[in-house]
Amino acid sequence: MMAAMRTIAALLLGSLALFAAPPEKKTSAKGMSYLVRLPDRYAKGQHALFVVLHGAGGSGDNMMQWITGAQSTFPKEAVLVTPTAQKDGAWDTPDMEPLAELVKAVKVEYAPTRTTLTGFSRGGYWTFHLGLTHAGLFDAAIPCAGGLPGAVPDNEDVRRLPFYVIHGEADDVVPITESERSVKALEAAKVTVKFERVPGLKHTMDWAAFKRGLDWTNGILDERQKALDEEVGKKIAELEKLLKAESWEAATEAFVAIERVPARFAPKLAALAKSQVLAKDEILAFAAIAAAGRCGADGVAALKGIPGTNEKLAIPVAVALAATGSPAACEILLGYLKTKSDRVATTAAECLCKMGRDLAVGPLVAGLSNAESLLPTSPRRTAINDALKTLTGQSFTKASEWKKWLAENPGK
């Protein structure tokens, strides 16, 4: 009996350990409050991301409690983000751009394997709305008990975004006809969509239905990933042949053609890029530099050996370093802020800004402090301050002021 109790306790503790990290409250650069819950054993670039929108009168706080509760079927190993509408707990038009910018920032910060947008009630309406107006930000959408507030845009990003629509047949707050109308509009626009009517369900979440929706969207995304892996594998094999044959023009085109790099191919492509980032043919070198930027952390090694004194190469290198999303890239960009020309340093500040607040604020403040001491008239000071203002929403001009604010506002 005692042994069985120990076993049960161990299982419970193991389950709770996945939720060991408590949600952290943050504020976006545009002033939107949100909670982030990271899984235990979090590693950047290794987890799915869910952006979850609350209903009318709700908040990111109570939505986070709901989706991490005992009945929830959200994956415990995922990154969960629950924003709060800016006025009266109701998503509205002024929330659109701040919400889209927040999603962009957290994607840079956590480099998710895939990003799913979902929401309930008014959050379901906004799952349709944000998903369709900013389809390129997401890999799947699961609106629950909502409806489509406008027309379906006609573009490829929208057509590639799978929607799993869930609605209770007994919903007496948002009638199921709202989802029926929305599904018909998606089908007419040739969007991949599946509709689940839940018999007897009133205005609440059906966790089993959500799990079925997640399984369905993941199945579609897994098939697409398999096809992408096969396609990229063939392209990299062809690129390698072209480089060995010294077919430089064709190799340049081959680098450019590899737009998305699955993690399993990143080390190989980064190695091929590294062999050409200093190529005599500048166009080939630029293509290799950009390709390295699409390789994540593996790409940093291909880029770090390029001398920052060569402005013609240093500027695309800075852009590529930011694209990797790697903390190691921040160290190199900080070196650009401190020791390179004004033009390169200004570009480095702009690129750090694109890497997101958590990664970039420290290097930017360090770069500003260095510039104040050694390069007081350099335009890089303005570029650094502009980047910090964009990332934090604050308006300081001195490194000491930024340091004081950061010390008084940990986590912001």
pLDDT (tens digit per residue) in 190-204: 999 999 999 999 999
Mean pLDDT, the chain, whole residue set: 91
Residue partners of 303: CB distance under 8 A and separation at least 6: 277, 289, 292, 293, 317, 320, 321, 324, 329, 332
Give the best-scoring range by mean pLDDT among 31-45, 214-228, 351-365.
Answer: 214-228
Helix, coil or strand: residue 260: coil
Closest alpha carbon to 206 in 238, 162, 170: 170
Q: 5 pLDDT exceeds 60?
A: no
CA 116 – CA 149 distance, rounded (Å)? 20
Q: Are 117 and 91 in contact (CB under 8 A)?
A: no
Q: What pLDDT is recorded for position 340? A: 92
Q: 266 pLDDT exceeds 90?
A: yes
Residue 411 — very low, low, confident or very high, per pLDDT cuts 50/70/90?
low
Q: 14 pLDDT exceeds 50?
A: no
Q: 263 pLDDT exceeds 70?
A: yes
Q: What pLDDT is recorded for position 412? A: 58
Q: Count of CB atoms within 10 A of residue 316's CB?
A: 21
Backbone angles phi, psi at 83, to 5 degrees: -75, 165
The pTM of the whole model exceeds 0.85: no
Interstrand relation of 49-53 and 24-27 (parallel, antiparallel or unpaired):
unpaired
Q: 110 pLDDT exceeds 90?
A: no
Residue 7 — very low, low, confident or very high, per pLDDT cuts 50/70/90?
very low
Q: What pLDDT is recorded for position 410? A: 66
Q: What pLDDT is recorded for position 271? A: 97
Q: 9 pLDDT exceeds 80?
A: no
Q: 13 pLDDT exceeds 60?
A: no
Residue 15: in which H helix or E strand, if any?
A: helix 2-17
Looking at per-residue confidence, does 14 or 232 come out higher? 232
Amino acid 83 reads: P
Structural domains in the chain, CATH included, are: 20-205 (3.40.50.1820), 233-408 (1.25.10.10)
Looking at per-residue confidence, does 364 or 2 come out higher? 364
Residue 46 — very low, low, confident or very high, per pLDDT cuts 50/70/90?
confident
Q: What pLDDT is recorded for position 308? A: 67
Q: What pLDDT is recorded for position 2? A: 41
Q: Are 130 and 162 in contact (CB under 8 A)?
A: no
pLDDT (tens digit per residue) in 206-230: 999 999 999 999 999 999 999 999 9
Closest alpha carbon to 52 in 133, 118, 143, 151: 118
Q: 19 pLDDT exceeds 80?
A: no
Length of the chain measured in residues: 412
Residue 11 — very low, low, confident or very high, per pLDDT cuts 50/70/90?
very low
